[in-house]
Structure 1
Protein backbone atom coordinates (compact mmCIF):
# COMPACT_ATOMS: atom_id res chain seq x y z
CA UNK A 1 0.00 0.00 0.00
CA UNK A 2 1.14 3.53 -0.74
CA UNK A 3 1.99 5.82 2.16
CA UNK A 4 -0.41 8.72 2.57
CA UNK A 5 1.31 12.12 2.75
CA UNK A 6 -0.02 15.10 4.65
CA UNK A 7 -0.51 17.70 1.91
CA UNK A 8 -1.76 20.28 4.41
CA UNK A 9 1.62 20.24 6.19
CA UNK A 10 3.44 20.65 2.88
CA UNK A 11 1.32 23.68 1.97
CA UNK A 12 1.97 25.16 5.42
CA UNK A 13 5.74 24.76 5.08
CA UNK A 14 5.66 26.48 1.70
CA UNK A 15 4.06 29.57 3.24
CA UNK A 16 6.76 29.96 5.95
CA UNK A 17 9.13 32.84 5.09
CA UNK A 18 12.82 32.10 5.12
CA UNK A 19 14.68 28.79 4.95
CA UNK A 20 13.13 25.77 6.64
CA UNK A 21 15.57 23.82 8.87
CA UNK A 22 16.10 20.20 7.88
CA UNK A 23 15.38 19.01 11.44
CA UNK A 24 14.19 20.33 14.75
CA UNK A 25 11.28 22.59 15.52
CA UNK A 26 9.70 24.72 12.81
CA UNK A 27 8.13 27.97 14.02
CA UNK A 28 4.87 29.15 12.54
CA UNK A 29 4.77 32.67 14.04
CA UNK A 30 1.55 34.64 13.58
CA UNK A 31 1.53 38.24 14.87
CA UNK A 32 -0.61 38.79 17.98
CA UNK A 33 -2.89 41.80 18.15
CA UNK A 34 -4.43 41.18 21.61
CA UNK A 35 -4.15 38.96 24.69
CA UNK A 36 -0.41 38.31 24.53
CA UNK A 37 2.55 38.72 26.86
CA UNK A 38 6.15 39.51 25.93
CA UNK A 39 8.53 37.08 27.66
CA UNK A 40 12.29 37.47 27.47
CA UNK A 41 14.53 34.66 26.26
CA UNK A 42 16.50 34.98 29.49
CA UNK A 43 13.47 33.42 31.21
CA UNK A 44 12.09 31.17 28.47
CA UNK A 45 15.58 29.69 27.75
CA UNK A 46 17.12 29.99 31.23
CA UNK A 47 19.98 27.53 31.65
CA UNK A 48 19.56 26.96 35.40
CA UNK A 49 15.83 27.18 36.02
CA UNK A 50 13.75 24.02 35.85
CA UNK A 51 10.97 23.66 33.31
CA UNK A 52 8.36 23.98 36.08
CA UNK A 53 9.98 27.20 37.32
CA UNK A 54 10.07 28.64 33.78
CA UNK A 55 6.39 27.77 33.29
CA UNK A 56 5.40 29.29 36.64
CA UNK A 57 7.43 32.43 35.83
CA UNK A 58 5.79 32.82 32.41
CA UNK A 59 2.33 32.27 33.95
CA UNK A 60 2.95 34.88 36.68
CA UNK A 61 4.21 37.39 34.10
CA UNK A 62 1.00 36.91 32.07
CA UNK A 63 -1.26 37.67 35.05
CA UNK A 64 -2.64 41.17 35.70
CA UNK A 65 -1.45 43.28 38.61
CA UNK A 66 -3.07 42.28 41.88
CA UNK A 67 -3.61 38.62 40.98
CA UNK A 68 -3.01 35.99 43.66
CA UNK A 69 0.12 33.89 43.09
CA UNK A 70 0.26 31.95 46.35
CA UNK A 71 1.20 28.28 46.49
CA UNK A 72 -2.36 27.11 47.13
CA UNK A 73 -3.75 29.37 44.37
CA UNK A 74 -1.30 28.00 41.78
CA UNK A 75 -1.79 24.41 42.96
CA UNK A 76 -5.55 24.79 42.48
CA UNK A 77 -4.96 26.12 38.95
CA UNK A 78 -2.40 23.54 37.71
CA UNK A 79 -2.00 19.77 38.16
CA UNK A 80 1.43 20.15 39.82
CA UNK A 81 1.37 19.72 43.56
CA UNK A 82 2.18 22.31 46.21
CA UNK A 83 5.71 20.95 46.70
CA UNK A 84 6.68 21.41 43.03
CA UNK A 85 5.15 24.89 42.86
CA UNK A 86 6.89 25.93 46.07
CA UNK A 87 10.22 24.69 44.69
CA UNK A 88 9.63 26.64 41.47
CA UNK A 89 8.87 29.84 43.41
CA UNK A 90 12.11 29.39 45.37
CA UNK A 91 14.05 29.04 42.11
CA UNK A 92 12.50 32.23 40.72
CA UNK A 93 13.31 34.02 43.96
CA UNK A 94 16.91 32.78 43.94
CA UNK A 95 17.47 34.08 40.38
CA UNK A 96 15.95 37.50 41.07
CA UNK A 97 12.61 37.16 39.29
CA UNK A 98 10.51 37.05 42.45
CA UNK A 99 10.84 39.31 45.51
CA UNK A 100 8.89 39.07 48.74
CA UNK A 101 8.94 41.51 51.64
CA UNK A 102 6.99 41.73 54.88
CA UNK A 103 4.76 44.76 55.42
CA UNK A 104 2.82 45.90 58.45
CA UNK A 105 -0.92 46.32 58.02
CA UNK A 106 -3.47 48.01 60.20
CA UNK A 107 -4.36 46.64 63.63
CA UNK A 108 -0.91 45.12 64.06
CA UNK A 109 -1.23 42.55 61.27
CA UNK A 110 1.64 41.54 58.99
CA UNK A 111 1.30 40.73 55.27
CA UNK A 112 3.52 39.87 52.33
CA UNK A 113 4.13 42.05 49.25
CA UNK A 114 5.09 40.12 46.13
CA UNK A 115 6.97 41.78 43.23
CA UNK A 116 7.78 40.00 39.95
CA UNK A 117 10.53 41.49 37.72
CA UNK A 118 10.49 40.58 34.04
CA UNK A 119 14.23 41.47 33.85
CA UNK A 120 16.08 40.62 37.07
CA UNK A 121 18.67 43.18 38.09
CA UNK A 122 17.44 45.93 35.76
CA UNK A 123 15.57 47.78 38.54
CA UNK A 124 16.52 47.29 42.22
CA UNK A 125 13.57 46.22 44.37
CA UNK A 126 13.97 47.44 47.93
CA UNK A 127 12.07 45.65 50.73
CA UNK A 128 9.06 47.52 52.02
CA UNK A 129 9.34 48.12 55.76
CA UNK A 130 6.59 50.66 56.35
CA UNK A 131 2.83 50.11 56.57
CA UNK A 132 1.01 49.27 53.37
CA UNK A 133 -1.32 51.94 51.93
CA UNK A 134 -4.30 49.57 51.93
CA UNK A 135 -4.92 45.88 52.71
CA UNK A 136 -5.97 45.22 49.09
CA UNK A 137 -2.44 46.13 47.89
CA UNK A 138 -0.57 43.84 50.25
CA UNK A 139 -0.18 41.05 47.68
CA UNK A 140 -0.07 42.64 44.27
CA UNK A 141 1.61 41.73 41.00
CA UNK A 142 3.80 44.68 39.96
CA UNK A 143 5.31 44.98 36.50
CA UNK A 144 8.25 47.33 36.20
CA UNK A 145 8.42 48.87 32.70
CA UNK A 146 11.99 48.77 31.45
CA UNK A 147 13.48 49.17 27.97
CA UNK A 148 14.20 46.03 25.96
CA UNK A 149 17.78 44.83 26.60
CA UNK A 150 20.38 44.54 23.87
CA UNK A 151 20.62 40.90 22.64
CA UNK A 152 23.70 38.99 23.62
CA UNK A 153 25.86 37.34 20.92
CA UNK A 154 25.14 33.86 22.32
CA UNK A 155 21.35 34.20 22.47
CA UNK A 156 19.40 31.79 20.29
CA UNK A 157 17.18 33.73 17.85
CA UNK A 158 13.49 32.88 17.75
CA UNK A 159 11.60 33.32 14.48
CA UNK A 160 8.64 35.68 15.01
CA UNK A 161 6.38 37.58 12.68
CA UNK A 162 7.20 40.87 14.46
CA UNK A 163 10.96 40.73 15.11
CA UNK A 164 12.12 41.99 18.48
CA UNK A 165 15.67 41.96 19.86
CA UNK A 166 15.17 39.69 22.85
CA UNK A 167 11.48 38.95 23.29
CA UNK A 168 9.22 36.22 21.93
CA UNK A 169 5.48 36.98 21.87
CA UNK A 170 3.71 34.28 23.86
CA UNK A 171 -0.06 34.34 24.22
CA UNK A 172 -1.58 33.39 27.54
CA UNK A 173 -5.14 33.85 28.78
CA UNK A 174 -5.49 36.84 31.07
CA UNK A 175 -7.26 35.92 34.27
CA UNK A 176 -9.29 38.29 36.33
CA UNK A 177 -7.58 39.27 39.60
CA UNK A 178 -8.85 37.40 42.63
CA UNK A 179 -8.71 39.52 45.75
CA UNK A 180 -8.99 38.04 49.19
CA UNK A 181 -10.37 40.01 52.14
CA UNK A 182 -7.15 39.52 54.03
CA UNK A 183 -3.64 38.78 52.77
CA UNK A 184 -2.42 35.23 53.10
CA UNK A 185 1.20 34.97 54.06
CA UNK A 186 3.32 32.79 51.75
CA UNK A 187 5.67 30.48 53.66
CA UNK A 188 9.22 31.63 53.16
CA UNK A 189 11.73 28.78 53.00
CA UNK A 190 14.92 29.79 51.12
CA UNK A 191 16.66 26.60 52.17
CA UNK A 192 15.37 23.14 52.86
CA UNK A 193 11.96 21.61 52.17
CA UNK A 194 8.80 23.67 52.29
CA UNK A 195 6.64 23.04 55.33
CA UNK A 196 3.09 22.69 54.15
CA UNK A 197 0.29 23.52 56.56
CA UNK A 198 -0.97 20.45 58.30
CA UNK A 199 -4.55 19.44 57.78
CA UNK A 200 -7.00 20.00 60.56
CA UNK A 201 -7.54 17.04 62.84
CA UNK A 202 -10.83 15.21 62.25
CA UNK A 203 -13.60 16.09 64.64
CA UNK A 204 -14.30 13.62 67.36
CA UNK A 205 -17.75 11.97 67.16
CA UNK A 206 -20.30 13.31 69.60
CA UNK A 207 -20.89 11.27 72.72
CA UNK A 208 -24.32 9.62 72.85
CA UNK A 209 -26.92 10.57 75.41
CA UNK A 210 -26.32 8.63 78.66
CA UNK A 211 -28.76 5.87 79.57
CA UNK A 212 -29.42 4.27 82.96
CA UNK A 213 -28.72 0.62 83.65
CA UNK A 214 -32.43 -0.03 84.03
CA UNK A 215 -35.06 2.50 82.90
CA UNK A 216 -37.82 1.58 85.32
CA UNK A 217 -41.32 3.06 85.06
CA UNK A 218 -40.64 5.13 88.17
CA UNK A 219 -37.48 6.63 86.64
CA UNK A 220 -39.28 7.33 83.36
CA UNK A 221 -42.17 9.07 85.13
CA UNK A 222 -39.88 11.19 87.30
CA UNK A 223 -37.68 12.17 84.33
CA UNK A 224 -40.66 13.13 82.16
CA UNK A 225 -42.18 15.25 84.90
CA UNK A 226 -38.83 16.94 85.54
CA UNK A 227 -38.33 17.86 81.86
CA UNK A 228 -41.90 19.13 81.47
CA UNK A 229 -41.47 21.30 84.60
CA UNK A 230 -38.32 23.04 83.31
CA UNK A 231 -40.27 25.81 81.56
CA UNK A 232 -41.49 27.00 84.96
CA UNK A 233 -37.89 27.80 85.92
CA UNK A 234 -36.66 28.98 82.50
CA UNK A 235 -39.08 30.29 79.86
CA UNK A 236 -36.65 29.39 77.07
CA UNK A 237 -36.78 25.67 77.86
CA UNK A 238 -40.11 24.85 76.21
CA UNK A 239 -39.86 21.24 74.99
CA UNK A 240 -42.12 19.24 72.74
CA UNK A 241 -43.39 15.80 73.69
CA UNK A 242 -40.92 14.21 71.27
CA UNK A 243 -38.03 16.16 72.85
CA UNK A 244 -39.11 14.98 76.30
CA UNK A 245 -39.19 11.34 75.15
CA UNK A 246 -35.70 11.64 73.69
CA UNK A 247 -34.20 13.31 76.79
CA UNK A 248 -35.82 11.01 79.40
CA UNK A 249 -32.91 8.48 79.41
CA UNK A 250 -30.38 11.27 80.08
CA UNK A 251 -32.26 12.60 83.13
CA UNK A 252 -32.84 9.03 84.33
CA UNK A 253 -29.07 8.41 84.20
CA UNK A 254 -28.52 11.43 86.48
CA UNK A 255 -31.22 10.28 88.90
CA UNK A 256 -29.74 6.78 88.94
CA UNK A 257 -26.44 8.29 90.07
CA UNK A 258 -28.20 9.87 93.09
CA UNK A 259 -28.23 13.41 91.67
CA UNK A 260 -30.94 15.57 93.20
CA UNK A 261 -33.53 17.33 91.06
CA UNK A 262 -32.24 20.72 92.27
CA UNK A 263 -28.70 19.84 91.14
CA UNK A 264 -29.93 18.65 87.73
CA UNK A 265 -32.13 21.75 87.30
CA UNK A 266 -29.24 24.07 88.16
CA UNK A 267 -26.92 22.30 85.69
CA UNK A 268 -29.49 22.56 82.87
CA UNK A 269 -30.77 26.10 83.44
CA UNK A 270 -27.65 28.02 84.53
CA UNK A 271 -26.11 30.57 82.11
CA UNK A 272 -28.46 29.97 79.18
CA UNK A 273 -27.43 31.66 75.91
CA UNK A 274 -29.46 34.60 74.64
CA UNK A 275 -31.29 33.90 72.37
CA UNK A 276 -31.69 30.15 72.74
CA UNK A 277 -32.58 28.67 69.34
CA UNK A 278 -32.49 24.91 70.06
CA UNK A 279 -33.41 24.10 73.70
CA UNK A 280 -33.46 20.33 73.18
CA UNK A 281 -29.93 20.31 71.70
CA UNK A 282 -28.60 22.37 74.61
CA UNK A 283 -30.17 20.06 77.19
CA UNK A 284 -28.85 16.98 75.39
CA UNK A 285 -25.34 18.46 75.37
CA UNK A 286 -25.42 19.37 79.06
CA UNK A 287 -26.89 16.04 80.13
CA UNK A 288 -24.06 14.30 78.27
CA UNK A 289 -21.10 16.58 79.03
CA UNK A 290 -21.93 17.33 82.71
CA UNK A 291 -22.94 13.80 83.75
CA UNK A 292 -21.53 13.26 87.29
CA UNK A 293 -19.80 10.02 88.24
CA UNK A 294 -21.60 7.52 90.47
CA UNK A 295 -21.40 8.23 94.20
CA UNK A 296 -18.63 6.22 95.88
CA UNK A 297 -19.45 3.67 98.56
CA UNK A 298 -18.77 4.42 102.21
CA UNK A 299 -16.02 1.84 102.43
CA UNK A 300 -14.35 3.42 99.40
CA UNK A 301 -14.04 6.68 101.35
CA UNK A 302 -12.35 5.03 104.37
CA UNK A 303 -8.58 5.62 104.57
CA UNK A 304 -6.49 2.61 103.59
CA UNK A 305 -5.33 0.39 106.43
CA UNK A 306 -1.63 0.57 107.21
CA UNK A 307 0.35 -2.65 107.24
CA UNK A 308 1.31 -3.81 110.76
CA UNK A 309 4.82 -2.81 111.83
CA UNK A 310 7.02 -5.51 113.33
CA UNK A 311 8.30 -4.30 116.77
CA UNK A 312 11.91 -4.17 117.87
CA UNK A 313 13.22 -6.88 120.26
CA UNK A 314 16.48 -7.05 122.27
CA UNK A 315 18.61 -10.09 121.64
CA UNK A 316 19.03 -12.27 124.75
CA UNK A 317 22.60 -13.11 123.75
CA UNK A 318 24.30 -9.99 122.30
CA UNK A 319 21.64 -7.43 123.36
CA UNK A 320 21.36 -6.04 119.83
CA UNK A 321 18.04 -4.72 118.54
CA UNK A 322 16.24 -6.69 115.86
CA UNK A 323 12.70 -6.80 114.47
CA UNK A 324 10.62 -9.79 115.47
CA UNK A 325 7.08 -10.39 116.72
CA UNK A 326 8.47 -12.44 119.64
CA UNK A 327 11.51 -11.93 121.92
CA UNK A 328 14.54 -14.20 121.54
CA UNK A 329 17.88 -14.17 119.75
CA UNK A 330 18.94 -12.24 116.66
CA UNK A 331 19.87 -13.94 113.43
CA UNK A 332 23.59 -14.11 114.18
CA UNK A 333 23.06 -15.58 117.60
CA UNK A 334 20.64 -18.15 116.26
CA UNK A 335 23.25 -19.20 113.67
CA UNK A 336 25.89 -19.60 116.41
CA UNK A 337 23.55 -21.75 118.48
CA UNK A 338 22.86 -23.98 115.49
CA UNK A 339 26.60 -24.44 114.82
CA UNK A 340 27.23 -25.27 118.48
CA UNK A 341 24.46 -27.80 118.44
Structure 2
Protein backbone atom coordinates (compact mmCIF):
# COMPACT_ATOMS: atom_id res chain seq x y z
CA UNK A 1 0.00 0.00 0.00
CA UNK A 2 2.86 2.41 0.80
CA UNK A 3 4.50 1.61 -2.55
CA UNK A 4 1.30 2.47 -4.43
CA UNK A 5 1.08 5.79 -2.59
CA UNK A 6 4.70 6.60 -3.43
CA UNK A 7 4.15 5.77 -7.11
CA UNK A 8 1.03 7.96 -7.24
CA UNK A 9 2.88 10.81 -5.55
CA UNK A 10 5.82 10.50 -7.95
CA UNK A 11 3.50 10.63 -10.97
CA UNK A 12 1.65 13.63 -9.55
CA UNK A 13 4.90 15.50 -8.98
CA UNK A 14 6.08 14.66 -12.50
CA UNK A 15 2.93 16.20 -13.99
CA UNK A 16 3.37 19.53 -12.20
CA UNK A 17 4.24 22.35 -14.63
CA UNK A 18 7.54 24.12 -14.28
CA UNK A 19 10.53 23.26 -12.08
CA UNK A 20 9.90 22.13 -8.50
CA UNK A 21 11.19 24.35 -5.68
CA UNK A 22 14.44 23.29 -4.08
CA UNK A 23 12.98 23.47 -0.58
CA UNK A 24 9.70 24.23 1.17
CA UNK A 25 6.22 22.89 0.55
CA UNK A 26 5.08 21.58 -2.83
CA UNK A 27 1.38 21.99 -3.65
CA UNK A 28 -0.61 19.34 -5.50
CA UNK A 29 -3.92 21.15 -6.12
CA UNK A 30 -6.84 18.88 -7.07
CA UNK A 31 -10.06 20.86 -7.72
CA UNK A 32 -12.92 20.22 -5.29
CA UNK A 33 -16.35 19.37 -6.69
CA UNK A 34 -18.35 19.29 -3.42
CA UNK A 35 -18.10 20.11 0.31
CA UNK A 36 -15.55 22.88 0.12
CA UNK A 37 -15.25 26.44 1.46
CA UNK A 38 -13.43 29.38 -0.09
CA UNK A 39 -11.15 31.03 2.50
CA UNK A 40 -9.23 34.22 1.82
CA UNK A 41 -5.51 34.39 2.40
CA UNK A 42 -6.09 37.45 4.59
CA UNK A 43 -7.46 34.97 7.16
CA UNK A 44 -5.41 31.85 6.41
CA UNK A 45 -2.13 33.86 6.43
CA UNK A 46 -3.09 36.57 8.94
CA UNK A 47 0.04 38.07 10.47
CA UNK A 48 -1.49 38.94 13.86
CA UNK A 49 -3.94 36.09 14.53
CA UNK A 50 -2.80 33.00 16.41
CA UNK A 51 -2.98 29.58 14.78
CA UNK A 52 -5.91 28.64 17.03
CA UNK A 53 -7.83 31.77 15.98
CA UNK A 54 -7.16 31.10 12.29
CA UNK A 55 -8.31 27.50 12.64
CA UNK A 56 -11.50 28.45 14.49
CA UNK A 57 -12.19 31.19 11.92
CA UNK A 58 -11.89 28.72 9.05
CA UNK A 59 -14.07 26.22 10.93
CA UNK A 60 -16.83 28.78 11.60
CA UNK A 61 -16.73 29.93 7.98
CA UNK A 62 -17.30 26.34 6.81
CA UNK A 63 -20.41 25.83 8.99
CA UNK A 64 -23.97 26.40 7.73
CA UNK A 65 -26.07 29.27 9.05
CA UNK A 66 -27.65 28.53 12.42
CA UNK A 67 -24.76 26.40 13.73
CA UNK A 68 -23.72 26.88 17.36
CA UNK A 69 -20.32 28.57 17.60
CA UNK A 70 -20.20 29.49 21.28
CA UNK A 71 -17.38 28.60 23.66
CA UNK A 72 -19.20 25.52 25.00
CA UNK A 73 -20.00 24.20 21.51
CA UNK A 74 -16.42 24.69 20.25
CA UNK A 75 -14.93 23.16 23.41
CA UNK A 76 -17.07 20.05 22.90
CA UNK A 77 -15.85 19.85 19.28
CA UNK A 78 -12.10 20.49 19.72
CA UNK A 79 -9.41 19.48 22.22
CA UNK A 80 -8.51 23.07 23.18
CA UNK A 81 -9.82 24.30 26.53
CA UNK A 82 -12.37 27.05 27.13
CA UNK A 83 -9.73 29.71 27.86
CA UNK A 84 -7.84 29.15 24.58
CA UNK A 85 -11.06 29.09 22.53
CA UNK A 86 -12.38 32.21 24.28
CA UNK A 87 -9.09 34.01 23.58
CA UNK A 88 -9.24 32.96 19.91
CA UNK A 89 -12.81 34.28 19.58
CA UNK A 90 -11.69 37.59 21.09
CA UNK A 91 -8.88 37.76 18.49
CA UNK A 92 -11.36 37.21 15.65
CA UNK A 93 -13.66 39.85 17.12
CA UNK A 94 -10.82 42.35 17.51
CA UNK A 95 -9.89 41.98 13.82
CA UNK A 96 -13.46 42.27 12.57
CA UNK A 97 -14.14 38.67 11.54
CA UNK A 98 -16.57 37.97 14.40
CA UNK A 99 -19.31 40.30 15.59
CA UNK A 100 -21.90 39.92 18.35
CA UNK A 101 -25.11 41.86 17.69
CA UNK A 102 -28.01 42.34 20.11
CA UNK A 103 -31.39 42.02 18.38
CA UNK A 104 -34.98 42.06 19.62
CA UNK A 105 -37.05 38.94 18.94
CA UNK A 106 -40.72 38.84 17.96
CA UNK A 107 -41.73 38.21 21.59
CA UNK A 108 -39.93 41.38 22.70
CA UNK A 109 -36.96 39.64 24.35
CA UNK A 110 -33.37 40.53 23.52
CA UNK A 111 -31.00 37.92 22.07
CA UNK A 112 -27.36 37.87 21.00
CA UNK A 113 -26.72 37.00 17.36
CA UNK A 114 -23.24 35.95 16.27
CA UNK A 115 -22.18 37.25 12.85
CA UNK A 116 -19.09 36.02 11.00
CA UNK A 117 -17.78 38.10 8.08
CA UNK A 118 -15.38 36.47 5.62
CA UNK A 119 -14.08 39.90 4.46
CA UNK A 120 -13.97 42.48 7.28
CA UNK A 121 -12.48 45.13 4.99
CA UNK A 122 -15.36 44.86 2.53
CA UNK A 123 -17.79 45.02 5.47
CA UNK A 124 -16.34 48.33 6.66
CA UNK A 125 -16.53 49.79 3.15
CA UNK A 126 -20.13 48.65 2.68
CA UNK A 127 -21.17 49.98 6.08
CA UNK A 128 -23.78 47.28 6.68
CA UNK A 129 -24.12 43.61 7.58
CA UNK A 130 -26.43 41.20 5.78
CA UNK A 131 -26.90 37.82 7.43
CA UNK A 132 -27.67 35.44 4.60
CA UNK A 133 -28.09 31.65 4.75
CA UNK A 134 -24.98 29.76 3.71
CA UNK A 135 -25.51 27.54 0.66
CA UNK A 136 -23.04 25.00 -0.73
CA UNK A 137 -21.08 26.31 -3.71
CA UNK A 138 -22.33 25.05 -7.06
CA UNK A 139 -20.08 23.49 -9.67
CA UNK A 140 -19.84 25.92 -12.61
CA UNK A 141 -21.32 24.61 -15.82
CA UNK A 142 -19.53 25.08 -19.13
CA UNK A 143 -21.77 27.13 -21.47
CA UNK A 144 -22.39 25.77 -24.97
CA UNK A 145 -20.11 26.96 -27.74
CA UNK A 146 -21.31 30.05 -29.62
CA UNK A 147 -20.20 30.85 -33.19
CA UNK A 148 -17.70 33.65 -33.45
CA UNK A 149 -19.93 35.49 -35.97
CA UNK A 150 -22.56 36.21 -33.31
CA UNK A 151 -20.90 36.33 -29.88
CA UNK A 152 -23.37 36.32 -27.03
CA UNK A 153 -23.30 39.50 -24.92
CA UNK A 154 -22.25 38.93 -21.30
CA UNK A 155 -25.17 38.91 -18.86
CA UNK A 156 -25.57 41.96 -16.66
CA UNK A 157 -24.67 41.30 -13.02
CA UNK A 158 -27.66 41.14 -10.73
CA UNK A 159 -27.51 42.69 -7.26
CA UNK A 160 -27.48 40.27 -4.36
CA UNK A 161 -30.97 40.13 -2.84
CA UNK A 162 -31.37 40.77 0.86
CA UNK A 163 -33.41 37.98 2.50
CA UNK A 164 -36.56 39.35 4.11
CA UNK A 165 -36.19 37.02 7.08
CA UNK A 166 -32.77 38.44 7.95
CA UNK A 167 -32.85 42.26 8.09
CA UNK A 168 -29.62 44.26 8.44
CA UNK A 169 -28.20 44.06 11.93
CA UNK A 170 -26.46 46.85 13.75
CA UNK A 171 -22.97 45.82 14.75
CA UNK A 172 -21.56 47.01 18.09
CA UNK A 173 -18.14 48.68 18.20
CA UNK A 174 -15.21 46.38 17.52
CA UNK A 175 -13.51 47.18 20.80
CA UNK A 176 -15.37 47.45 24.10
CA UNK A 177 -13.74 48.83 27.25
CA UNK A 178 -12.56 46.07 29.56
CA UNK A 179 -13.27 46.30 33.29
CA UNK A 180 -10.22 47.20 35.36
CA UNK A 181 -8.31 44.25 36.76
CA UNK A 182 -8.80 43.67 40.47
CA UNK A 183 -5.65 44.28 42.51
CA UNK A 184 -3.74 41.42 44.06
CA UNK A 185 -4.65 40.93 47.76
CA UNK A 186 -2.20 42.44 50.22
CA UNK A 187 -1.57 41.40 53.84
CA UNK A 188 -1.76 43.88 56.68
CA UNK A 189 1.93 43.21 57.42
CA UNK A 190 4.25 41.15 55.22
CA UNK A 191 6.44 39.63 57.91
CA UNK A 192 9.56 37.58 57.04
CA UNK A 193 7.76 34.41 58.18
CA UNK A 194 4.81 35.08 55.87
CA UNK A 195 7.13 35.88 52.95
CA UNK A 196 9.13 32.68 53.43
CA UNK A 197 6.04 30.45 53.67
CA UNK A 198 4.33 32.13 50.69
CA UNK A 199 7.46 31.76 48.54
CA UNK A 200 7.72 28.08 49.43
CA UNK A 201 4.06 27.45 48.51
CA UNK A 202 4.44 29.16 45.11
CA UNK A 203 7.71 27.43 44.25
CA UNK A 204 6.23 24.05 45.22
CA UNK A 205 3.19 24.35 42.92
CA UNK A 206 4.95 22.58 40.03
CA UNK A 207 5.27 19.44 42.19
CA UNK A 208 1.47 19.25 42.37
CA UNK A 209 0.62 20.62 38.88
CA UNK A 210 3.43 20.37 36.34
CA UNK A 211 1.84 23.16 34.26
CA UNK A 212 2.37 25.78 37.00
CA UNK A 213 6.07 26.50 36.50
CA UNK A 214 6.63 30.02 37.84
CA UNK A 215 9.72 32.14 37.39
CA UNK A 216 11.50 33.86 40.28
CA UNK A 217 9.98 37.18 39.20
CA UNK A 218 6.49 35.62 39.19
CA UNK A 219 7.00 34.21 42.69
CA UNK A 220 8.21 37.57 44.01
CA UNK A 221 5.18 39.33 42.50
CA UNK A 222 2.64 36.80 43.83
CA UNK A 223 4.04 36.49 47.38
CA UNK A 224 1.75 39.23 48.85
CA UNK A 225 -1.35 37.44 47.53
CA UNK A 226 -0.43 34.12 49.19
CA UNK A 227 0.58 36.00 52.36
CA UNK A 228 -2.91 37.55 52.49
CA UNK A 229 -4.39 34.03 52.43
CA UNK A 230 -2.03 32.85 55.16
CA UNK A 231 -2.86 35.91 57.24
CA UNK A 232 -6.51 34.86 57.10
CA UNK A 233 -5.51 31.51 58.63
CA UNK A 234 -5.90 29.45 55.42
CA UNK A 235 -3.80 26.28 55.58
CA UNK A 236 -1.07 25.80 52.93
CA UNK A 237 -2.72 22.62 51.60
CA UNK A 238 -5.99 24.53 51.11
CA UNK A 239 -4.14 27.27 49.19
CA UNK A 240 -2.40 24.64 47.05
CA UNK A 241 -5.73 22.93 46.28
CA UNK A 242 -7.35 26.22 45.24
CA UNK A 243 -4.47 27.06 42.87
CA UNK A 244 -4.02 23.64 41.21
CA UNK A 245 -7.55 22.22 40.81
CA UNK A 246 -9.29 22.16 37.38
CA UNK A 247 -6.53 23.89 35.42
CA UNK A 248 -6.97 24.46 31.66
CA UNK A 249 -4.95 22.13 29.46
CA UNK A 250 -2.41 23.51 28.81
CA UNK A 251 -2.39 26.85 30.65
CA UNK A 252 -0.95 29.56 28.40
CA UNK A 253 0.02 31.97 31.18
CA UNK A 254 0.52 30.10 34.52
CA UNK A 255 1.34 33.26 36.51
CA UNK A 256 -1.86 34.99 35.33
CA UNK A 257 -3.94 31.96 36.36
CA UNK A 258 -2.39 31.95 39.85
CA UNK A 259 -2.89 35.71 40.21
CA UNK A 260 -6.52 35.46 39.10
CA UNK A 261 -7.32 32.69 41.56
CA UNK A 262 -5.55 34.40 44.45
CA UNK A 263 -7.68 37.48 43.76
CA UNK A 264 -11.17 36.11 43.06
CA UNK A 265 -11.07 33.13 45.48
CA UNK A 266 -9.76 35.04 48.51
CA UNK A 267 -11.77 33.81 51.55
CA UNK A 268 -13.08 36.26 54.16
CA UNK A 269 -11.33 36.61 57.53
CA UNK A 270 -12.35 34.13 60.19
CA UNK A 271 -14.95 35.57 62.59
CA UNK A 272 -13.89 36.19 66.19
CA UNK A 273 -15.28 34.63 69.33
CA UNK A 274 -17.61 37.58 69.90
CA UNK A 275 -19.24 37.16 66.47
CA UNK A 276 -19.71 33.41 66.99
CA UNK A 277 -21.12 33.73 70.56
CA UNK A 278 -24.92 33.27 70.71
CA UNK A 279 -26.98 36.29 71.61
CA UNK A 280 -27.92 36.40 75.33
CA UNK A 281 -31.51 37.33 76.14
CA UNK A 282 -31.68 39.66 79.11
CA UNK A 283 -34.65 39.27 81.48
CA UNK A 284 -37.24 42.03 81.50
CA UNK A 285 -36.90 44.14 84.69
CA UNK A 286 -39.83 46.37 85.76
CA UNK A 287 -38.71 49.30 87.96
CA UNK A 288 -39.98 49.93 91.53
CA UNK A 289 -42.39 52.82 92.16
CA UNK A 290 -43.63 54.38 95.46
CA UNK A 291 -47.41 54.36 95.85
CA UNK A 292 -48.91 57.87 95.89
CA UNK A 293 -51.48 56.75 98.48
CA UNK A 294 -49.66 54.58 101.01
CA UNK A 295 -46.03 55.16 100.00
CA UNK A 296 -45.46 51.45 99.59
CA UNK A 297 -43.08 50.14 96.93
CA UNK A 298 -44.57 48.30 93.95
CA UNK A 299 -43.32 47.39 90.44
CA UNK A 300 -44.74 49.37 87.56
CA UNK A 301 -43.51 51.07 84.41
CA UNK A 302 -45.22 54.32 85.45
CA UNK A 303 -45.77 55.96 88.87
CA UNK A 304 -49.24 55.75 90.54
CA UNK A 305 -51.03 53.63 93.16
CA UNK A 306 -50.32 50.12 94.29
CA UNK A 307 -52.80 47.28 93.85
CA UNK A 308 -54.14 47.59 97.43
CA UNK A 309 -54.94 51.27 97.02
CA UNK A 310 -56.50 50.62 93.62
CA UNK A 311 -58.71 47.89 95.15
CA UNK A 312 -59.81 50.19 98.02
CA UNK A 313 -60.63 52.94 95.57
CA UNK A 314 -62.61 50.48 93.42
CA UNK A 315 -64.55 49.19 96.48
CA UNK A 316 -65.36 52.69 97.67
TM-score tier, shorter chain, comes to: 0.3 to 0.5
TM-score (norm 1): 0.37
Higher relative contact order (CA 8 A, sep 6+): 1
